Structure 1
Amino acid sequence: MTRSPATPLPPPKARRRLRETAALTQTQLADRVGVTPGTVRAWESGRTTPRGRKREAYAKLLKTLAEEAAVQAPEPEPKPKLEPESRPQPQPEAKPQPEPQPQPEPEPEVEPEGKSQPQPESQPQPQPVAAPEPVALTPAQAFDALYAFSAPALVRQTFLLTGRREQARESVERAFQAAWEHWPEVARDRDPVGWVRATAYEYALSPWQRLRPRHRHPEPPPADPGDRTLLNALLRLPPRHRRTLVLYDGVGLDLPETAAETEASTPATANRLLRAREAVAGRLPALADPQVLHRRLAELASNERLRAAEPPTVRRGGERRARLRTRAAIAFTVALVATTALTVRTAPTHYEPPVSPGQAVRGVPQRVAPGALSDEELELRQKLRDQMQDGPERLSPRLE
C-alpha cells in the first residue's frame, strides 16, 4: 500500500542544513510554521513527516530559505574567454595528375596438379559492445533490495540497544513496514537506511515495551563471558546514552549525524557520548580506547545468530496491518455515526418537567386554580386599572 505525498519536501538533512544556513533555531522555525520545537526536531530527523496545512507551510518556508541561500551565495567567477582559433589557411589547389595508362594483366601461373595454394583466412572484426540499458525497478523490487542490504545489520545493531533477539527482529520489521507504507518519501530520501534505523530504534526503546508479557521473561545471555559483560554494561546505560554510543562507536556516524538522528543538539550529543564511554570504561577498562570499543561492539553484534525475515513476508505483513487499521477506523466511524443518529432520533425535542409524586391531602386543600375574586381583590384590580401604566408618575413614590 503506497501513498504519494501532497507536496515534495527536501530530505531531513537538507531541511536542517537550510535552517542552519538561515541562522534560525528550531524554536524560531517552529514559531514561523506554528508547531512546537519538538515537532521540528522530528521533521529534521526524519522520524515523522508533516501533513496537511503544516506540510504546505513548512515546504513553502523551506523553499523561501533555499531561495535566500541561493541569492546570498557568491557568484562564480567568470571563465576567461578563449582566444578565437586561427582560421585554417587555404591550401593551394592540387594540379591534376595524368591518368595512368592501363598495364597488361599478367597471365596466371598454372600450378602443377596435387598442390593447392593456401587461401588467406579472413579474421572477424570485433563488434562494438552496446552498454546495457538501466532497468527500472518496481517499488516492490527496490524495497526488497533495500531490505536485503540493510536488514541483517540493523537487527544486530538493535540487539545492542535492547539485548533481546526477538524484540530487535520485530523492531526492524515494524520499521520496514512503516517504510513500505511511506515508500515514495523513503525512496527519494538521501539516506533511506537512516530513515529505517531511526524508526527501528524508536520502536525498540519505547517505554511501552516494558508492559508486554514477553518482556518479563529474560532471554538467554551470550555464551562468551566477555560479550555477556559488555552487553550488561550497555544495558545499564540510559537509553539516550546507549543509543548515542551505538550510533557513534557502533554504526560509525559522525557527531552531527548522530545529533540529528537522536533529535538533540551537537553539544548535548557529545556530552552523552563522553558519559557513555566513561561508564563503559569504568566497568571494562580495556575498552577505554574508542577503536577497541568499536571493534568489540562489532564482534558482539556479529557473534549472535540473528536472522531477518524475507522481504515479501515483511511487505505482506505491513499491508495486512494497514488493512486492519483501515477496517478498524471504518468500523469505528460507522459505529460513531450510528450512535449519533440514534441519539438525535430518540432525544426529546422539548423539556418535559418530571411529574411530582402524589401526596395525601387532609382537610380542605388550598385554592390553586383561579376562581371568583373577593372584594379586596376587585378593589385592587380597579385601582390598578385607574392608575397610569407608564410615565414618571408611576415611578415616583406617593403618600396616600
Structure 2
Amino acid sequence: MTQSPATPLPTPKERRRLREAKSLSQAQLAARIGVTRETIRAWESGRTTPGGTGSEKYAELLRAPLDRPAPRKATPKPATTSAAPEQPVTRPSARAFDALYAYAAPLLVRHTYLLSGRRALAREAVERAFQLAWERWPEVAVDPDPAGWVRAAAYEYAMSPWHRLRPGFRRPDAPPADPADRELLDVLLSLPPVYRRTLLLYDWVGLDLPETAAETEASTPAAAHRVLHAREAVAERLPDLAIPEQLRQRLTALAGAERLEAPKPSLVREAGERRVRFWTRAAIAVTTLIIGATVLTLRVAPTHYEPVPAPGAPVSGVPAPSGPGPLSARERQLRALLQEELSGGPERLVPVPE
C-alpha cells in the first residue's frame, strides 16, 4: 500500500503542467529529486503517489515560482571616438528557436536513426524538420509541444517512401560494430514502421500512452496493442530484452554508440531562409512566365469573331448527270462530212522553207 504524502500535492495533470511551465524534462526533475525518470512518469500519470522525503522535494520544486529575470534599466551607451564594428543582434524568436534546437536536436537525431537505420538520413531529417519549424515558427512557438511537432516532422521525412528512389539509398548503411547492437537494430528494422515508431515513443522517449497514440494518430487501445506486439516481436528474437526497462537501456546504449551530431542552429536557420528565398523566387518566376504567356496570347489572338462555314446540305430538283443522247439529223450530217475529209488534204497548211 502506498503511503500518502504529508505535503499536499496537486493533481497528476497539474503536476505535469507545472513541470513543463518550468521547462524541465522528466529526467531533469528526477535528477533534482534523486529518483528515476520512471518514478516521475508514474507520479504524473497517477499510477503511484509520491511518498517519503522525495515527495517534499517534489512539492517544493513544483510550487517554486518561475525563474524570471529582473528588469534591467536602460543605460546610455558611452560615446566612443572610433567606430567599432557592430555585433550581430539575435532576435528573440531566433533565441527561442536555438533553445528548442539545443534541447531536442541531439536526442532527435538518435531517435530518427533508430527509426530509419541510416545515419545520413537521420541528420538530414532532423535538419529539414527544424528548417520547416523555422519557416512556420509563429505556429510552432505557440504549440503545446514544439519538440513533438519537430519530432513528427522528422519522422514523416525520414520514413518517406520516396527515399528508395535516391541513388545513395540503394545500399544499406554499415551496421553497428557491436554484434549485440547490430542484432537489436535488425530486430527494430524488421518491425512495421508504425509499430517501430510507437515502441520507441513509449519505451525509449518516455511518452505516456495517450500522448503516444496522439502523435502516431491512433487510438489509445491501438497504440497499446502496437506496443505489446512490438515487445513480443523483440522478445521472441532477443529473450534478454523481454523486460521493458532492459529494452529501454539497450535502446539508449544503441543510440549513444553512434556519433550523430546535428549542425549548429544558426546554420539550420540560414539554410531554411535560403530555401524559402529560393522557392519564393521560383514562384515569382513561374507567375511571371504565366503572365507573359497570357499577354502574348491576348496579343496574337484574333480581335473579331470569324464564323465557321456551315456544313453542306443536299439540294433537290437537280437532274442526275447522264451520257450524251441521240444525234440529230444535222449532227449526223456534220459527222459524216468530217469523216470524209482527209487529215492530210490540201486544206492543211504545210510549212515550206524559203
Q: For residues 9-54 of structure 1, what are the alpha-carbon distances to aligned partners after superposition, in whole Å with 9 as ceiling and x for unaligned? A: xxxxxxxxxxxxxxxxxxxxxxxxxxxxxxxxxxxxxxxxxxxxxx
Which residue, out of 161, 173, 176, partners 1:207? 161
Unaligned runs of 5+ in 1: 1-130, 357-364, 367-400
- What residue in structure 2 maps to residue 232 of structure 1? 186
- What residue in structure 2 maps to residue 317 of structure 1? 271
- What residue in structure 2 maps to residue 22 of structure 1? none
- Cα offset, 1:190, TM superposition: 2.3
- Cα offset, 1:290, TM superposition: 0.8
- Cα offset, 1:347, TM superposition: 2.9
Which residue, out of 120, 125, 147, partners 1:171? 125
- What residue in structure 1 maps to residue 305 of structure 2? 350
Residue 294 (structure 1) aligned with residue 248 (structure 2): yes
For 1:323, what is the secondary structure of its paired residue? helix
For 1:295, what is the secondary structure of its paired residue? helix
- What residue in structure 2 maps to residue 159 of structure 1? 113
Cα separation, 2, equivalents of 1:180 and 1:137: 13
- What residue in structure 2 maps to residue 382 of structure 1? none
For 2:217, what is the secondary structure of its paired residue? coil
- What residue in structure 1 maps to residue 280 of structure 2? 326
Cα separation, 2, equivalents of 1:241 and 1:134: 49
Which residue, out of 150, 162, 171, partners 1:196? 150
2:223 partner letter: T
Cα separation, 2, equivalents of 1:148 and 1:266: 31
- Cα offset, 1:160, TM superposition: 0.2
- What residue in structure 2 maps to residue 266 of structure 1? 220
Structure 1 segment 7-46 matched on structure 2, within 5 A = none
Which residue, out of 122, 126, 133, partners 2:70? 133
Which residue, out of 292, 305, 310, partners 1:338? 292
- What residue in structure 1 maps to residue 140 of structure 2? 186
Cα separation, 2, equivalents of 1:281 and 1:347: 73
Q: For residues 54-97 of structure 1, what are the alpha-carbon distances to aligned partners after superposition, in whole Å with 9 as ceiling and x for unaligned? A: xxxxxxxxxxxxxxxxxxxxxxxxxxxxxxxxxxxxxxxxxxxx
- Cα offset, 1:351, TM superposition: 4.0
- Cα offset, 1:217, TM superposition: 2.4
Structure 1 segment 118-129 matched on structure 2, within 5 A = none
- Cα offset, 1:353, TM superposition: 4.7
Cα separation, 2, equivalents of 1:267 and 1:336: 51
1:226 partner letter: A
2:293 partner letter: T
Cα separation, 2, equivalents of 1:134 and 1:286: 56
- What residue in structure 2 maps to residue 142 of structure 1? 96
RMSD between aligned residues: 2.4
- What residue in structure 2 maps to residue 359 of structure 1? none
1:171 partner letter: A
- Against the structure 1 CA distance between its residues 346 and 287, is the aligned structure 2 distance closer, same or farther, given a 3 Å change threshold? same
- Cα offset, 1:137, TM superposition: 6.8
Q: For residues 116-145 of structure 1, what are the alpha-carbon distances to aligned partners after superposition, in whole Å with 9 as ceiling and x for unaligned? A: xxxxxxxxxxxxxxx951689711111112
- What residue in structure 2 maps to residue 372 of structure 1? none
- What residue in structure 2 maps to residue 103 of structure 1? none
Cα separation, 2, equivalents of 1:329 and 1:181: 16
Which residue, out of 191, 198, 206, partners 1:244? 198
- Cα offset, 1:303, TM superposition: 0.7
Number of residue pairs aligned between Structure 1 and Structure 2: 229
Cα separation, 1, equivalents of 2:306 and 2:195: 63
